Structure 1
């Protein structure tokens, strides 16, 4: 089991704060540093000092880290055209020496689109149609052999004579698709993804989502392996008092977090991570909401990670 750190900087974080967390992630031997891709805070927070762009952030971190993998959960297809996004991800991959992963989703948070003047297709069907075409374009551009060009004729996107440059450092940055949609999400994951992620769900619901995607992989005749992963909010303490303190810092109740996240003592976390491992999860993304509490990461690195490795 690999443990990855997952941040939500739209809730309030500067680049310097994210850099400190990314460096701690690397120094403490976690597998990866991931961040959300949002432009507006959620819930009862002010979001100060304001949003940071996901791929600009990762470009900076690519030059200031050396080992840890870097990625998004999830870049919104509504934010960017597929051609420029393919260029950005490939460039950051080269800047990092081949450590980038693209978590990619259809987009869902209408308020941030309204706030920043980003078009938001009203129907989920159109968002997924655009998302599917973007997957075709991005992976097609990366996979175009040097000296050849890429053409694409879709309903929403059309490309002609694209050289498919720059090339990423990796043959292809891993693509992550997530969500619990019953039909289209598993099909898209089977067709395009290297990893399928289920966010913020119970072990039982995660297992059911994994099975739907395994069925889609089989139905597609796919032979390439699929990585299965889960994302869970983190709240770990050496005792109940420390768990309660960390829960209060993020505006949650300890018992609610124990039900709906990875919360409790290190022993409790090891037990629940083990249950995710039993259903086939190979990675768990630990959603860290208090980005000033680096002692939290140190505790998990010292008392949880060695027991689940």
Structure 2
């Protein structure tokens, strides 16, 4: 089971804080550092000192880390034109030496669009489908060739399809709970399907839909990586678990039911239950980015048991 650290910087984190967490992620042996792509805090968090841009952040981390994979859960398709995003991701991939992964979604948080003057179109899923076709098409065009696309929402003419990423193929992540269109898009474009904040029962159901969609598309279902994103709250004892839950404004019982919470052995057992669904990778949503002892405990007492 791969364990990846997943952060929500819109809740309140500077670049320096993210750099500290990313370096700890690398030093403690985790597989990757991922971040959300949001510009407005959610809930009661103050969001200070203000938002950081996902791809500017990852560009900086690309130069200041050496081993870990870096990526987004999920880049909002409403924030950037697909041709521009293809350039940005390819450049950051080169800056990292080929360690970038692109999670791409339709965008959903209407309030942040209003707050920063970003259009929030109704046809976001249709746009996402064209964005996926464009980004993968640009990267897949041979050097010296050109790429054209004539869609409902986007048109590209005689694009040189440059620059190319360092990797032969940047892994593309698609995720979500949608019953029909999301599995179909994953089957066509994704290297990995990610299901955020889902129960074991819902995970079984959604992974099954994606596998069925892959088979219908003529693709081996096992070609995809299947992953979950879950909030994490681990403590050496009940007192420490309660303290960490309180620090992120959550209840222990709710976290045990909907995330990965409890002692290291309890969390390892629950991870095993997710593994039985076909999940081979978990993004640990870490909400208190100042608590590096939490990461150390997860590394030494949870990750060490997973092999």
Please state if 1:261 is matched with 2:259.
yes
**In structure 2, what is the Cα distance between the partners aligned to 1:214 and 1:26?**
32
Partner residue, 1:24:
24
What residue ranges of structure 2 are gaps of 5+ in the alignment? none
Partner residue, 1:98:
98
1:271 equivalent among 269, 272, 275: 269
Q: For 1:123-272, what aligned pairs fall within 5 Å after superposition? A: 123=122, 126-223=123-220, 225-272=223-270
**In structure 2, what is the Cα distance between the partners aligned to 1:172 and 1:37?**
22
Please state if 1:64 is matched with 2:61.
no
User: Structure 1 length normalisation: TM-score?
Assistant: 0.98
Partner residue, 1:14:
14
Partner residue, 2:115:
115
**In structure 2, what is the Cα distance between the partners aligned to 1:96 and 1:281?**
27
Deviation per CA, 1:227-282: give whole Å up to 9, x if none: 00000001000000000000000000111100010000000100000001111001
Secondary structure in 1 aligned to 2:288?
Answer: coil
Deviation per CA, 1:93-128: give whole Å up to 9, x if none: 00000000000000000000000000001x3xx100
- The alpha carbon displacement at 1:90 in A equals 0.2
**In structure 2, what is the Cα distance between the partners aligned to 1:298 and 1:45?**
25
* Aligned length in residues: 306
**In structure 1, what is the Cα distance between the partners aligned to 2:17 and 2:209?**
38
- Runs of at least 4 residues off by over 2 Å: none
**What is the Cα-based RMSD across aligned positions, in Å?**
0.6
Partner residue, 1:45:
45
**In structure 2, what is the Cα distance between the partners aligned to 1:87 and 1:207?**
36
Secondary structure in 1 aligned to 2:284?
Answer: strand
What residue ranges of structure 1 are gaps of 5+ in the alignment? none
**In structure 2, what is the Cα distance between the partners aligned to 1:239 and 1:2?**
24
**In structure 1, what is the Cα distance between the partners aligned to 2:96 and 2:217?**
33
**In structure 2, what is the Cα distance between the partners aligned to 1:46 and 1:273?**
32
**In structure 2, what is the Cα distance between the partners aligned to 1:111 and 1:255?**
30
**In structure 2, what is the Cα distance between the partners aligned to 1:279 and 1:86?**
33
Secondary structure in 1 aligned to 2:157?
Answer: strand
- The alpha carbon displacement at 1:49 in A equals 0.2
**In structure 2, what is the Cα distance between the partners aligned to 1:12 and 1:91?**
27
Secondary structure in 2 aligned to 1:304?
Answer: helix
**In structure 2, what is the Cα distance between the partners aligned to 1:27 and 1:110?**
37
Deviation per CA, 1:155-187: give whole Å up to 9, x if none: 000000101100000012100001010000000
- The alpha carbon displacement at 1:308 in A equals 1.5
Q: For 1:72-91, what aligned pairs fall within 5 Å after superposition? A: 72-91=72-91
Please state if 1:294 is matched with 2:292.
yes
- The alpha carbon displacement at 1:292 in A equals 0.1
